[in-house]
Amino acid sequence: MAIGALTIPASGMHAAVSAFDASATNIANSSTPGYKRIVPEFQHEETGGVIVQFTRDETPGVPEYDLYTNTRTESSNTNLIIEMTAQIADLALFKANVQVLKAEDYVLGEAVNILA
């Protein structure tokens, strides 16, 4: 049971990194015409951890007109303010799970010392 408790914050750290990566991908592709942003969705696991599933935001980007090629294109639907805010939240989520992991490590260490 004690080792299982360590997997919960570890899964939270993994989920935070995965969501951060998705946001970084969105930022990197924000100037790609027609790019649809990736949206992370956190879900709990039956074992007590957390996983991330990803979907595409199919909201259309802003229509643009290219005067040189005389064509219409659609810009990316990525909002940089939303993505940067998501990265701040993902970093805070990661740090919170690190603190939980450290606390559980300390408690397990004290339990070993008591039993030894």
Give all strands (DSSP E) within 1-116, no chain letters. 38-44, 50-56, 63-66, 71-74
Hey, what's the torsion of the CAs at 70, 29, 89, 102, to 10 degrees?
Answer: 180
Nearest to 94 by CA among 20, 30, 33, 25: 20
Question: Residue 1's pLDDT is what?
Answer: 43
Number of residues that make up the chain? 116
Nearest to 63 by CA among 49, 77, 73: 73
Which residues of the chain are under the pLDDT cut of 50?
1
Question: Residue 34's pLDDT is what?
Answer: 93
pTM of the model: 0.84
